[in-house]
Amino acid sequence: MKKHIIFTTALFMGLSSFCQKTEIPSSVKNIETKVDSVLNLMTLEEKVGQMVQYNGSWDLTGPASEKGSKEKEERLKKGLVGSMLNVLSVEATEQAQRLNMENSRIKIPLLFGYDVIHGYKTIFPVPLGETASWDLEAMEESARIAALESAANGINWTFSPMIDISRDARWGRIMEGSGEDTYLTSKVAVAKVKGYQGDDLSDPKTIAATAKHFAGYGLAEGGKDYNAVNIGKNELHNVVLPPFQAAADAGVATFMNAFNTIDGIPATGSESLQREILKGAWDWNGLVVSDWGSITEMIPHGFAKDKMHASEIAVKAGSDIDMEGGAYEAGLQQLVNEGKVDEKLIDDAVRRILRVKFKMGLFEDPYRYSNPELLKSISFEEHSKTARDIARKSIVLLKNQNGLLPIKSSVKSIAVIGPLADDKDTPIGNWRAQGEKNSAVSVVEGLKAAVKDASKITYSKGVSLGEGERSFLMPLKINETDRSGIPDAVANAKNAELVVMVLGEDAFQSGEGRSQANIGLAGLQKELLEKVYAVNKNIVLVLINGRPMEINWSANNIPAIVEAWQLGSESGNAIADVLLGKYNPSGKLPVSFPRAVGQEPLYYNHKNTGRPSNPTHVTYSHYTDIENGALFPFGHGLSYTSFAYAEPQLSSNEMKSGENVTLSLELTNSGKVAGKEVVQLYLRDLVASSSRPVKELKGFEMVQLEPGETKTVQFVIDEKMLSFYTAAGKWEAEEGEFELMVGGNSQDVKSVKLDYKK
């Protein structure tokens, strides 16, 4: 590994000692001492520089093209930039690091961040899809692989996991998180942090993770991106914060704050969230990066007059780094000089930044992520195998009438129809990092490779979906007019024994800025489906999408429906594995599927209301034109076998403070093939100091069973499980009766009562 750290004056000799492990003075015993020693050497300007993050889309290897990039480069050389994002490749990151290390007075290594959301090069299912696997080990493993591929390309910091609870399918970024449940999201948060960061951040195969967006971003009003969030303390503490606390407890190195206001205060300017809760009550000592420009966005929010004012608010609130907002570099120094901001706040931010850099071992070797050998050692083939396995675990079998699936080998002809059937790009999804365009295995390819006689598969597109050039920033154009392919698709369906229709959403229908007021099959897809249905009802509908969709008509008419999300690089192979029965589906929905978009936000863990039902009058909480509840509820997912749940038993129906009880139930595979079931435990606190949800997930177990086999599944019920953020503003379990429920989804459950006494 190359090391060309040039130290020009004696002043830097103290600092240079941090750059060579062997030279660390014996007095420098721990990271805190090292951090302070560096901080003591810094000027105010250099400290503020650490709090500045630049986007690196300008070409470091060629002439500066981006507006203002020459100035940026100059500031980098002066050591007035602490981190960069979107600088890609070993060469580019090394070059940027070199500009900083070889020219700056202070020589503090840069961090290189990037949105590695569901894989770097090898693309895994979008997070919502992957969460449907409920397989925490698998989710940790995909993060580990993403970290390795990123680290081998110069990246040492991912802006992931996104652990915003999202209950609204209209929100485009619902694909980026783990859905509507706080407990499940908390578990995923920990798995992801472990996967990215490993046990030791200084291992150059790991990268720093980011818990984002702190906080409430997923509860944007009306599901419209960047919109206001209007929740009170009860929802904030019981629903939104627990995944973040879990990530903080798991040692996540960084947090990102959020674009939204929450109860009127921009999250980026929220002292209560960042200083009081995160850095205060939780005693977390990592760094907080703003979201892109979210400091200056406090101006249009009507919370700050100008950049200067925005900087003052943000730094006081605890935002340590300004991501490409230009606010800190424009104003912080002056604010300190004018006495408006205490330099102690700047010191606190810089300490947090330096701490992360020390933990990552960057002071020992700023070029540790510029190691081309690491890239050479990676087996992308192995990563693809893992991606296929995780992809098939993420598939959810929504409906399977008369055992239409798995497709029998005796089926002689299969018409594969739909715009997404041969689409090699959409399964890569949005937030695709370095996942190549058109690099996924398509459904047609996957099926042809898996069947003995590929000629029995005939493909017709029918209609197209997303048209023209598609990209992260540009609006997507949907085909609403071109029906020319429909007759061919209908003829193909007519002649086939079975139809596999592959419909859903384009990769760029979900993601940032992709909220939709309609969540049905876009464009001409529904028309195509109905026309095919008119000639052949033997249809398996495969959905490829990033959000829950409105598929009421399909659910009522199509015999088999498979939710295949955007599954990443190995999508088509994974789908073929499930359709052909090589893998028995085991995924469960992490989010409710609505009967109509008007039900959104829709989530299983809602409050009961004072009028949950009324058999004779209309005056209860419902819509008059649609049944209450989800079309497919949270936790739902079928298998090619069936599972029988016995009544749950409690070791005691009473539990006193400090005690535990055990809930046991027998689960039997009552079908004909081996299968895996996710047994879910829910709880309801029947009377409490604030109204509690009708049900909340509190545990789950994955159970593999051979046909006819029975296993006993146990859950230990403890006080922590019964606790919530009470009306008195404390996390505690309150005395009284609890209903404990178990089942294979959030709707079909068997229950027992537990009396809890202090």
CA dihedral 145, 149, 154, 158 (to 10 degrees): -40
Toward ligand NOJ, which CB reaches closer, 244 or 593?
Answer: 244
Which residue in 490, 676, 476 sits closest to 586, CA to CA?
676
Q: How far is CA 252 from the centre of its chain?
A: 15
Cβ proximity of 725 and 234 under 8 Å = yes
Task: Kindly state whether residue 645 participates in binding ligand NOJ, applying the rule CB under 6 A.
Answer: no
Closest contact distance (angstroms) between CB of 323 and ligand NOJ is: 7
CB half-sphere exposure, 316, CA atoms < 13 A: 14
Toward ligand NOJ, which CB reaches closer, 51 or 529?
Answer: 51
User: 């192995």: which residue's tokens?
Assistant: 382
Residues 6+ apart with CB under 8 A from 280: none
Closest contact distance (angstroms) between CB of 112 and ligand NOJ is: 13
Toward ligand NOJ, which CB reaches closer, 195 or 671?
Answer: 195
Q: Is 498 helix (H, G, I), strand (E, B) or coil?
A: strand
Q: How far is CA 464 from the centre of its chain?
A: 29
Toward ligand NOJ, which CB reaches closer, 364 or 512?
Answer: 512
Site string for ligand NOJ, 38-77 (x = CB under 6 A): ----------------------------------------
Please report, in angstroms and rounded to a whole number, the separation of the first and last CA atoms in the chain: 61
Give the β-pairing of 649-650 and 749-757: unpaired
Which residue in 151, 90, 71, 81 sits closest to 110, CA to CA?
81
Which residue in 682, 603, 699, 617 sits closest to 165, CA to CA?
603
Closest contact distance (angstroms) between CB of 292 and ligand NOJ is: 4
Residues 6+ apart with CB under 8 A from 730: none
Task: Kindly state whether residue 159 participates in binding ligand NOJ, applying the rule CB under 6 A.
Answer: yes
Toward ligand NOJ, which CB reaches closer, 168 or 696?
Answer: 168
User: 């079975």: which residue's tokens?
Assistant: 498
Toward ligand NOJ, which CB reaches closer, 158 or 599?
Answer: 158
Q: Could you say which DSSP state residue 321 is in?
A: B
CB half-sphere exposure, 504, CA atoms < 13 A: 29
Toward ligand NOJ, which CB reaches closer, 247 or 407?
Answer: 247
Question: How many residues are given for the chain?
Answer: 758
291 tagged catalytic = yes
CA-based Rg of the chain, rounded to a whole angstrom?
27
Toward ligand NOJ, which CB reaches closer, 324 or 570?
Answer: 324
Which residue in 172, 296, 189, 183 sits closest to 249, CA to CA?
189
- DSSP letters of 526-594? HHHHHHHHHH---EEEEEE-SS----HHHHHH-SEEEE-----TTHHHHHHHHHTTSS------SSPBP
Site string for ligand NOJ, 85-104 (x = CB under 6 A): x-------------------
**What are 150's two structure tokens?**
């990123």
Toward ligand NOJ, which CB reaches closer, 345 or 433?
Answer: 433
Closest contact distance (angstroms) between CB of 214 and ligand NOJ is: 11
Cβ proximity of 122 and 569 under 8 Å = yes
Toward ligand NOJ, which CB reaches closer, 223 or 594?
Answer: 223
Task: Kindly state whether residue 676 participates in binding ligand NOJ, applying the rule CB under 6 A.
Answer: no
Active-site entry in 291, 365, 389, 685: 291
**What sign has the CA pseudo-torsion 224, 229, 235, 239?**
positive
Closest contact distance (angstroms) between CB of 159 and ligand NOJ is: 3
Closest contact distance (angstroms) between CB of 220 and ligand NOJ is: 12
Closest contact distance (angstroms) between CB of 472 and ligand NOJ is: 9
| Ramachandran angles phi, psi of 127, nearest 5° | -50, -40
Task: Kindly state whether residue 118 participates in binding ligand NOJ, applying the rule CB under 6 A.
Answer: no
Task: Kindly state whether residue 212 participates in binding ligand NOJ, applying the rule CB under 6 A.
Answer: yes
In the complex, residue closest to ligand NOJ by CB: 159
Closest contact distance (angstroms) between CB of 254 and ligand NOJ is: 11
User: Which residue in the set 46, 73, 115, 180 belongs to the binding site for ligand NOJ (CB under 6 A)?
Assistant: 115
What gap in Å lies between CA 147 and CA 75, rounded to an integer?
29
Closest contact distance (angstroms) between CB of 191 and ligand NOJ is: 19
User: Which residue in the set 214, 292, 367, 640 belongs to the binding site for ligand NOJ (CB under 6 A)?
Assistant: 292
User: Which residue in the set 140, 168, 180, 291 belongs to the binding site for ligand NOJ (CB under 6 A)?
Assistant: 291
Closest contact distance (angstroms) between CB of 226 and ligand NOJ is: 9
State the CB neighbour count (10 A cutoff) for residue 396: 25
Toward ligand NOJ, which CB reaches closer, 55 or 670?
Answer: 55
What gap in Å lies between CA 644 and CA 622, rounded to an integer?
32
What gap in Å lies between CA 55 and CA 565, rounded to an integer?
31
Distances (CA, A) of 691 to 165, 687, 699: 20, 7, 21
Toward ligand NOJ, which CB reaches closer, 430 or 571?
Answer: 430
Distances (CA, A) of 356 to 108, 187, 288, 496: 12, 24, 11, 60
Closest contact distance (angstroms) between CB of 268 and ligand NOJ is: 11
Closest contact distance (angstroms) between CB of 162 and ligand NOJ is: 7
Toward ligand NOJ, which CB reaches closer, 512 or 550?
Answer: 512
Binding residues with ligand NOJ: total (CB under 6 A): 7
**What are 72's two structure tokens?**
């940026």
Distances (CA, A) of 361 to 92, 224, 368: 20, 41, 8
Distances (CA, A) of 666 to 505, 586, 721: 40, 19, 22
Closest contact distance (angstroms) between CB of 164 and ligand NOJ is: 10
Q: Which of residues 216-245 bind ligand NOJ (CB under 6 A)?
A: none
**What are 371's two structure tokens?**
């190691």
One-letter-per-residue 3-state SS of 354-377: HHHHHHCCCCCCCCCCCCHHHHHH
Task: Kindly state whether residue 634 participates in binding ligand NOJ, applying the rule CB under 6 A.
Answer: no
What is the binding site for ligand NOJ (CB under 6 A)?
A: 85, 115, 159, 212, 291-292, 512
Q: Which residues are catalytic?
A: 291
